[in-house]
Structure 1
């Protein structure tokens, strides 16, 4: 397996083995990571700012991460993005904090944001910028 399919396979396999309610942000017309999650028997959802041509098994919503509709992400335990634009990272972190779910990102090349978060090696470097429970006000009733 080479090129982007290898990257998406590694990302999707990691998500499938660690989460039960993932949402891919910025899927575009490349559902390969979501396909890996789906084929592992896990329901995955996707969003993008533009309408995309996606398979019928992938629930999709048009959403702008800079002004997100929280209903698109209800119940998510992880948000993940494959090669997002760097300017998407701050609103992704803010959304993950608001939802109190993990945020996992695969960057293009050697890009990263801020300190780079926690790097996860799953065959490709993933950056975890937020972990559930990091915001103590969310975990205390």
Structure 2
């Protein structure tokens, strides 16, 4: 039997996994969807977010504008995990580079069936995440 997972269930599953495994996190590409970051903050995770542009005045999350192709590594340096929800596949190499440079894990929830290279380590926490670093 096929059970359809609703959009907000995906965000909740990502937040569950991240909050169970990390105490500090930064989201790349928060865009107009602060649900995972807000859930992490609610659960006591030290969370911040970056995006190439600011979409909202205030999500209640520390936010900085940053470009993953020319990143300010100080924004990522003290985070245990860097994560992204449905990033463009072309962003993954830069995100891997950032995670490698600062010594953080990189967790990605891909759009559809996209993966980068070998797809990294598969994490099945009710939704499929990919751990690249």
Q: Could you say which TM-score interval applies, normalised by the shorter chain? A: over 0.9
1:91 corresponding residue in structure 2: 94
Runs of 4+ with >6 A deviation: none
Q: Is the 8 A contact 2:38 2:60 kept in 1?
A: no
Give the one of 36, 39, 43 matched to 2:42. 39
Q: Structure 2: where are the runs of 5+ without partners? A: none
1:114 corresponding residue in structure 2: 117
Q: Deviations over 1:62-95 (max 9, x none)?
A: 0000000012112011000000000000000000
In the TM superposition, residue 42 of structure 1 has moved relative to its aligned partner by: 1.3
Q: Structure 1: where are the runs of 5+ without partners? A: 131-141
Task: Give, in whole Å, the separation in 2 of the partners of 1:49 and 1:107.
Answer: 19
Of 36-45 and 120-129, more deviation after overlay is shown by 36-45
Q: Deviations over 1:36-71 (max 9, x none)?
A: 111111121000001121645200000000000012
1:100 corresponding residue in structure 2: 103
Q: Structure 2 matches for 1:20-99, cutoff 5 A?
A: 20-53=23-56, 55-99=58-102
Q: Report the RMSD for the aligned CA atoms in angstroms.
A: 1.4
Structure 2-normalised TM-score? 0.92
Query: How many pairs are equivalent?
Result: 130
Structure 1-normalised TM-score? 0.87
